Amino acid sequence: MKRNMKQFVVGGLAALLALGGLAAAHATEPKKPARVPVPAISVNKDKAEKCVEPTDVMRRDHMKFIQHQRDETMHKGIRTSKHSLKNCVECHADPKTGSVLGKDGFCATCHQYAAVTIDCFSCHTDKTEKRVSANEPASLERLVRLSAPAAGAKP
């Protein structure tokens, strides 16, 4: 019992020392900014071209526009491009990657900063139409798969 007590005291002292050391190290480090810096968003569009709504409106309400358009398109077949997700991607995709996701992607940068998890792109493509058709070699595999008779396929 006594030995246990001794171990406890020694352990406690060690922990205290370690904490002190950490605090000292912290004091000498350069001070970090209090908040995560606002990400620099590359808009990826021609300077002459304007977004479908003013920037402050888009910042606050873009999700409402997209959701409204989504129901109109899905259920009524209204396919105007003004507030469509496809239109967002066409304009804002990174010219290098052709995507709105990734490290510097237009959608990803901001949502990551705001800790918003969106699931648009688990179904919708994050690439522009041009990029998608450029990726056609992927469909070759599909063609091969389809032309091979599938043994266990549904009747």
Partner 1 sequence: MSLNRREFLGLTAVAALATPGLRLVELAQARAPEETATKLQRWGLLIDAAKCADGCDACVTACHVENGVTGHNRPATDPQWIRKVKIKDRQTGYVQTLPLMCQHCEHPPCVDVCPTGASFKRADGIVLVDKHICIGCRYCMMACPYKARSFIHEDTKDQKPHAPRGKGTVESCTLCVHKVDRGDNTTACAEACKKEGHEAILFGDLNDAGSEIRKRLASAPSTQLRPDLKLNTGVRYTGL
Residue 112: CB minimum distance to partner 1, A:
20
- Contact, 92 vs 107, CB < 8 A? yes
- Contact, 94 vs 105, CB < 8 A? yes
Residue 39 vs 87, nearer CB to partner 1? 87
Residue 38: CB minimum distance to partner 1, A:
30
Residue 81 found at the interface with partner 1 (CB under 8 A)? yes
> CA 114, 117, 118, 122: dihedral to nearest 10 degrees?
140
Residue 113: CB minimum distance to partner 1, A:
24
b (16+ CB within 10 A) / e for 79-98: eeeebbbebbbbbbbbeeeb
- At residue 147, the 3 state secondary structure works out as helix
Residue 103 found at the interface with partner 1 (CB under 8 A)? no
What is the rounded distance in angstroms from the CA atom of residue 37 to the CA atom of residue 110? 11
- Per CB under 8 A, which region of 3-11, 20-28, 107-115, 127-135 contacts partner 1? 127-135
Residue 124 found at the interface with partner 1 (CB under 8 A)? yes
Candidates 129, 125, 89, 81; CA nearest to 105 is 89
- Please list every residue from 14 through 73 that binds partner 1, using CB under 8 A: 70
Residue 39 vs 124, nearer CB to partner 1? 124
For partner 1, which residue of 3, 26, 31, 76 counts as binding (CB under 8 A)?
Answer: 76
What residues line the site for partner 1 (CB under 8 A)?
A: 70, 74-81, 86, 89, 119, 122-125, 128-129, 132, 135, 138-139, 141-143, 145-147, 150-155
